[in-house]
């Protein structure tokens, strides 16, 4: 009998580790940047794309969808012509801001070493 393989995805956490759980939510190259931008009112897709030109459109779209699915951000569609979409932090997402602030502080200190 063979051991069943476990598929790794963003919910993969075989040891039920709290740090792994957090990293599954905010991990990746762009999610912390997206959270930081949205909290600073860079809350439209086109503005985020300009702020992160190295991120592909597909990557930005996927990261936004994952953050929305995880309840970190909320997507608001305005019934205008043309339609306008904005993102905002949810209450859950706001609880991540101290982590993002700590990452920013650490990064500034590391760069200045």
pTM score above 0.85:
no
Question: pLDDT at position 2, please?
Answer: 47
Residue at 2 is within a domain: no
Is the residue at 63 inside a domain? yes
Helix (H) or strand (E) holding 89: strand 84-89
Mean pLDDT on 87-99: 96
11 assigned to some structural domain: no
Mean pLDDT for the stretch of residues 20-30 = 87
Assess if residue 4 is contained within a domain. Answer: no
Q: How many domains does the chain have?
A: 1
Residue 56's pLDDT band (cuts 50, 70, 90) = very high
Name the average pLDDT for the chain.
88
- For tokens 């912390």, the residue is 32
Top-confidence residue, 28 or 11? 28
CA 55/CA 32 separation, integer angstroms: 13
- The CATH number for 60's domain is 1.10.10.10
């Amino acid at each position: 009998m063979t051991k069943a393989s476990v598929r790794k995805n963003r919910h993969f956490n075989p040891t039920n580790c709290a740090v792994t759980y957090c990293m599954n939510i905010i991990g990746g190259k762009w999610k912390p940047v997206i959270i930081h931008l949205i909290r600073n009112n860079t809350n439209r897709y086109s503005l985020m794309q300009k702020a992160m030109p190295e991120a592909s459109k597909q990557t930005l779209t996927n990261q936004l969808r994952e953050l929305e699915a995880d309840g970190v951000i909320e997507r608001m569609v305005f019934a205008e012509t043309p339609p306008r979409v904005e993102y905002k932090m949810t209450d859950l997402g706001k609880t991540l801001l101290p982590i993002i602030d700590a990452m920013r502080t650490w990064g500034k200190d590391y760069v200045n070493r």
